[in-house]
Amino acid sequence: AVSLKGRDFIELSDYTPDEIRYLIDLAIDLKRKLKDGETYHPLKGKTLGMIFEKSSTRTRVSFEVGMYQLGGQALFLSRNDLQIGRGETVSDTAQTLSRYLDGMMIRTFAHRTVIELARAATVPVINGLTDLAHPCQVLADYQAVLEHKGRLEGVKIAYIGDGNNMVHSLLIGAAKLGMHMSVATPEGYEPDEDVVRMTKEYAAETGARIHVCRDPREAIEGADVVYTDVWASMGFEAEQKEREQAFASYQVNEELVSRAKSDFIFMHCLPAHRGEEVSEGIIDGDHSIIFDQAENRLHAQKAIMAAIMG
């Protein structure tokens, strides 16, 4: 049996395929429990601290509601209100907060901040997004793929757009779960080389096929899942104009998706910019499952918290 008690959740690379699958199955079970009105309070009396150095709608609300549904409570801690904003070290913050809390979630810029926090903390730390990774989103997303496609292994995902935090976590998750993934990005916006290398090593073990290319039409050919994300992520807003030019031929629209499988599903982590990375017709059309993904953030994160903090 899988036990994840006391573990951090920083990137899917830290988890085995069985452990990831365990969390997805637990998320599906917690989703059913919630819909059936079953109470489940494994975290009664426990508190999660949520440190936010960037904005959030889904992550903040789903963690807070999720913690409440599991019988515990969550504290919203914004960078500006913490002494961290005035220069207290990440390590001192981690050691102090560990004396009050049963777990911490952090959304920040540099990935090393999360690593540093986890190293100094004596309670589990969850990555709620960094510039490098967004593993909570991917757990929820692959739960949604499983729900819609009935399987994960052998499913083909095409990611079109920026080689950002989303694509990194999607790649690692896909390779670990035996899903095939093709990524198309403009020149200069490729996914991180180390992540791609690591992903290919996992893929060799699971039979996943990982392909990184330039041409969106090549990437989307025969895809079961079409995924995109904003062209300018949080922290890159100043580059919006130059990115609009670089990504102009990378919009997921009616013409591009005609090359995907006829029953493809469209996915986006949200927030989205309609008319930029995706046409309105596709994101609001019949193939889109964006709000199932958003909903699953609640179930997937409850699974993570119950498993590591329970």
Q: Which residue ranges make up the site for ligand CP (CB under 6 A)?
A: 56-59, 129, 137, 269-270
**What residues are labeled active site?**
107, 134, 137, 229, 269, 297
The Cα–Cα gap between 57 and 93 comes to 24
Residue recorded with tokens 């739960």: 143
Least distance between ligand CP and beta carbon 11 (Å): 15
Strand partners for 75? 49
The torsion defined by the Cα of 50, 51, 55 and 58, in degrees rounded to 10, comes to -20
CB 84 within 8 A of CB 109: no
Least distance between ligand CP and beta carbon 293 (Å): 8
Please give the residue whose beta carbon sits closest to ligand CP in the complex. Answer: 59
Q: Is 113 in the site for ligand NVA (CB under 6 A)?
A: no
Interacting span for ligand NVA (CB under 6 A) from 20-28, 33-41, 147-155, 160-168: 160-168
Measured from the CB atom, the residue of 20 and 129 that comes closer to ligand CP is: 129
Q: Is 164 in the site for ligand NVA (CB under 6 A)?
A: yes
Residue 244, SS3 per DSSP: helix
Residue 134 known to bind ligand: yes
238's tokens: 């100043």
Q: Is 166 in the site for ligand NVA (CB under 6 A)?
A: yes
The Cα–Cα gap between 183 and 50 comes to 32
Q: Is 108 in the site for ligand NVA (CB under 6 A)?
A: no
Residue 135 known to bind ligand: yes
Q: In the range 217-246, which residues lie near ligand NVA by CB under 6 A? A: 229-230, 233-234
Contact of residue 84 among ligand NVA, ligand CP, none (CB under 5-8 Å per partner type) = none
Taking the CA atoms of 13, 18, 21 and 27 in sequence, report the sign of the dihedral they define. negative
Contact of residue 80 among ligand CP, ligand NVA, none (CB under 5-8 Å per partner type) = none
> What DSSP line would sit under 144-202, residue for residue?
HHHHHHS--TT-EEEEES--SHHHHHHHHHHHHHT-EEEEE--TT-PPPHHHHHHHHHH
Residue 213 known to bind ligand: no
- Residues at the binding site are 56-59, 83, 107, 134-137, 165, 229, 233-234, 269-270, 297
Q: Residue numbers of the site for ligand NVA (CB under 6 A)? A: 129, 164-166, 229-230, 233-234, 269
